[in-house]
Chain A
C-alpha cells in the first residue's frame, strides 16, 4: 500500500515537473513573449527596460530563471505577476479558488441529480416516448457549445427579459462570496450552474441509461427478477447501483479537471473571477508566472483525480487491478 502510494506520488511529481518545463520552454520560444517591455510600460527608454529586466531576473540563464520561479512559487510564495506588476500569484489563486469551487460543486450536484434522474427514467421507459424525449434532449445538451449557451442565457436574463417578473431577480454577472451574502451567492450562481451542468446532465444521463440497460440483461438481475422482486425494486436497487460505478469514476475525473480551471468558458461568459478566468487572462497577457501557477494548479487536480479514480476502481472491482 505504501509503495503504491509512493509510486503514485513520484508519478505525480514527474508529470507536474514535465508540464512546468514544457510550459516554461514554450513561453520562451514564443516571439514577443519577452515581458520586460510590457512591464516597463509604453515608450520606456532602453535604460528603463534594462533595469526592469535585471530587476525581474530576465537577464539570467533559463535554468536559473526556472529554479528561481519554482523557488518563489513553492518555497517563498512571493512570486509576482509579469502583467500586473506587484500582484502576488499565490494569494490571487487562493482567493480565486472558492469561486471556481462554488461553481463546479453546485453544478456537480445539479448534474449528478438530474443526470441520474434522466438516466433512470429513460431506462425505465426504454424505447418509449419519455426515453426518446429525454435522450433527444440529452444529445442536444451535449451538442451545444457551452459559451454559446451562456451568451444566450445572458441575452435573455440580463437584457431582453430582465424587466419581466421571470428574470428581474437575476443579479448582475459576477461572483458574490458566500461568506458575505449567502443569498446573493446563490442567485448569482443559478445560471452559471445550469449552463455548466447542461453538458454533463446529457453525458451522464445517457451513460447511466446504457449502463442500466446492459446490467439489466446480466444474470444476477435475471435471478433477482425470477425471485419475484418487483421491477421497480430491481431497477432502483440492483441495476442502477451497478451501472453507477463507471459514472462515479467519470465524475471523479471531470470534477478534478473542472476544479482545476477547465470551467474557463463558463467563468469567462458569466464573469466569475475563478481559476479558469485567471488562466484565460494570464494566457491572453502571456503572464508566465500566473500561467505557470494555474497550469500546475490544474495539473495537480487532474493527477490527484486520476489517482483517486484508480484506487476507487480497484476498491469497487478488484478485477480492474492493472496487470
Chain B
C-alpha cells in the first residue's frame, strides 16, 4: 500500500560503468558471502523452503493426516484416551464446539482448525502455496515492469506518455474488484491453455492479481533508471560514435535494469506474501480446501478467542519469512547498488 518515487532520484553513477557482463555477478556472490546477515538469512530461507517441500512427508509420517480432508468426527489418542478433535462444550449452556488445542506432539502439534484438520500440516502445505504465489507473482511483476519501464524510458515521447498514464491508472485501480470479478468468472470453469490447466482452485488467480498490484511500483524506477542511462554522457558518447540502438540497449541498459530488478526481487516477494494474506482476508485468494498462510490466518480469525494459535502460527510464519527476505534483500541491494540504497 505504499509507493516509491525512485524515478525522481538522481541517476546513479554506478549505472554508467557497468558493462563487463560477469563483473557484477562475481561481485554479487562475493559480497553476499562476506556478509553474515546475508548468509544467515539465506540459510533461514532455504530451511523454510525445504520444510514446506517436505510437507507430504510430514503429513503422512508424522501427523498421519490428510490436511485437505475435513476431520470433524476425528478422534485422537492422548494419554491412552480417545479424545474427539472437535470438542463440544459441556459447561454452562453447552454452546459452541472448540477444536483441539496444541498437543505439541506429532499429531495436531499446533491443534486443529474449524474443520478438525491438523494446523501444522496445513501450515507446511500453506507455506508451499504462499511461497509459490509470492515468487511467481514477483516474476510476473518484474517481467511486466521491465517491459513497461524500458519501453517507456527508452522510447520516450508518445509511448512514454501512454505508458506513464497506464502506470498511474494501475496504481489507482481497485485491484480487489478485479480479484472478486476473476474469482466469480472462474467458478466451476476449467480453461486449458496448452499444458496449463486453469481452474477456480488453481493458484493462477492470486498470482495474476498480486503480480499486477506492484507493477507500477517497479516500473517507475525502471523507467527512471533507463532514462538516466539513456541521457548519461557515456551513452551519448557511444551514440555519437555510431553504436546502434539495440546494442546500447543490450550492452548498457538491460544489465542495469537487471540489477534494479534483482534488488526489487526479495523485497517484492516479501510484500507479496503479505498481500496474499490480505487477499485471503477478503476471501478472494486461495480457495478451500487448499491452504495458504493467508487462508490459515483467515481460519484462525474465526478461532481467535478460543484457539489463538491458529492465527498466531501463520502470522509468525509470515513475519519470519518476510523478515528474512528483507534482511537478505538489504544486503543484496547494498552489494548491487550501494549508492541508490534508499532504505527499502
Contacts and interface: CB of A to CB of B under 8 A. Distances in A.
Closest 4 CB pairs of A and B: A207-B343, A299-B172, A143-B322, A253-B3
B4 A15 contact: no
A231 B327 CA distance: 29
Contacts of A320: 8-10
A214 B337 CA distance: 13
Contacts of B165: 11, 14-15, 18
B286 to A, nearest CB: 15
Given A246-B9, A323-B227, A32 B184 contact: yes
A27 B178 CA distance: 9
B208 to A, nearest CB: 14
Given A309-B5, A320-B8, A23 B174 contact: yes
A142 B321 CA distance: 12
Interface stretch (B68-76, B116-124, B275-283): B275-283
B315 interface: yes
A26 B177 contact: yes
Interface stretch (B45-53, B83-91, B300-308): B300-308
Interface string B147-179: 000000000000000000100110111101110
B257 interface: no
A155 B231 contact: no
Interface residues of A, number: 67
B235 interface: no
B322 A319 contact: no
B307 to A, nearest CB: 12
A308 to B, nearest CB: 11
Given A145-B318, A265-B281, A155 B323 contact: no
Interface stretch (A71-79, A172-180, A185-193, A279-287): A279-287
B341 interface: yes
A26 B2 contact: no
B317 to A, nearest CB: 11
A29 B185 contact: yes
Contacts of A323: 227, 231
B281 A283 contact: no
Q: How many B residues are at the interface, by size bracket?
A: 35 or more
Given A302-B172, A319-B10, A295 B315 contact: no
B244 interface: no
Contacts of A142: 322, 326
Interface stretch (A40-48, A232-240, A254-262): A254-262
A280 B282 contact: yes
A105 to B, nearest CB: 16
B181 interface: yes
Given A15-B169, A211-B343, A303-B172, 20 more contacts: A29-B181, A30-B180, A139-B326, A143-B274, A143-B319, A144-B318, A151-B301, A159-B305, A203-B343, A207-B343, A210-B342, A210-B343, A214-B341, A260-B172, A284-B180, A299-B169, A302-B168, A313-B5, A320-B9, A323-B231
B178 A26 contact: yes
A23 B322 CA distance: 32
B297 interface: yes
A148 interface: yes
B192 interface: no
Contacts of B326: 139, 142-143
Contacts of B342: 207, 210-211, 246
Contacts of A249: 5, 8
A306 interface: yes
Nearest to B284: A283
Contacts of B311: 148, 151-152
23 contacts: A29-B181, A30-B180, A139-B323, A139-B327, A143-B320, A143-B322, A147-B278, A148-B315, A151-B304, A155-B304, A155-B308, A206-B343, A206-B344, A207-B342, A246-B342, A250-B4, A257-B1, A265-B281, A283-B177, A298-B172, A298-B174, A299-B172, A319-B10
Given A147-B278, A295-B177, A15 B185 contact: no
B270 interface: yes
Contacts of A82: none
A33 B277 CA distance: 25
A277 interface: no
B177 A23 contact: yes
Given A23-B177, A142-B322, A203-B343, A30 B1 contact: no
A148 B277 contact: yes
Contacts of B184: 30-33
B213 to A, nearest CB: 11
Contacts of A144: 315, 318-319
B174 A279 contact: yes
B323 A143 contact: yes
Nearest to A22: B173
Interface string A1-45: 000000000010011001100110011011111000000000000
B137 to A, nearest CB: 16
A94 B227 CA distance: 41
Contact of B305 (A14, A155, A298): A155
A33 B341 CA distance: 46
A22 B178 CA distance: 10
Nearest to A269: B281
A200 interface: yes
Contacts of B174: 23, 279, 283, 291, 294-295, 298
Given A143-B270, A159-B305, A286 B3 contact: no
A92 to B, nearest CB: 17
A250 B323 contact: no
A144 B282 CA distance: 17
A195 interface: no
Given A295-B174, A303-B168, A262 B1 contact: yes
